[in-house]
Copies of this chain bind each other. A is one copy, B any other.
């Protein structure tokens, strides 16, 4: 039905479309992490991408869908990172199996948190508004987003339970509380405040937040 030429042509056009949508979500991702959903305007997005606002609406039917696409992309990026981390064997080939397992579960949780903080410092972590927002409903109704969220939660949840068995994470804390605490690092205002103060490098900020997150403020653990 379609000649090779047409197929190539179509594929090429589709590639251009995908590339444009990628450029859009990248801009949305950046603006979303910089200003948040409410403060971000569609005009800004259009201006940053370099196309007319009406063209945006040919790709995404609403501001919510626009933001949702960026969030889905970020979520899938996180999922990919965690899945890669899950498959990889711990770098330390200790003899004691239990100890090794304990280290790897805790270390995977720490690696995930560190990754999140670095993304946030790089301005690539779109933060969803914790308060009631029209965006929440859209995200909850988005299969790709919820699928990613569930997969991410499952992976982290498994490591949390394992780390608690290993005696590496406080077993008195419900796993769900640990999970939320780790998720919360993605929108931790401490990171922004410390970055604004310009007294510390990004690496120092990451390490300080990692310390307060896992070892707490108390002196004993450090």
Contact = CB atoms under 8 A, between A and B. Distances in A.
Contacts of A172: 211, 222
A177 B221 contact: no
A192 B182 CA distance: 14
Interface in A101-130: 129-130
A140 to B, nearest CB: 13
Most buried by B among A168, A173, A189: A189
A14 interface: no
B216 A36 contact: no
Interface string A181-195: 111100111101110
Interface in A126-142: 129-133
Interface string A20-62: 0000000000000011101100000000000000000000000
Nearest to A164: B219
A16 interface: no
Copy tally for this chain in the complex stands at: 2
Given A177-B194, A180-B190, A193-B180, A212 B208 contact: no
Contact of A214 (B36, B171, B216): B216
Given A180-B190, A192-B130, A211 B38 contact: no
A211 B173 contact: yes
A89 interface: no
Contacts of A164: 219
A50 to B, nearest CB: 23
Interface of A: 34-36, 38-39, 129-133, 164, 167-174, 176-178, 180-184, 187-190, 192-194, 197, 199-200, 208, 211-222
Given A176-B199, A215-B218, 17 more contacts: A36-B129, A39-B131, A130-B187, A130-B189, A167-B219, A168-B218, A169-B219, A170-B217, A170-B219, A170-B222, A172-B211, A180-B189, A180-B190, A181-B212, A182-B217, A187-B189, A221-B221
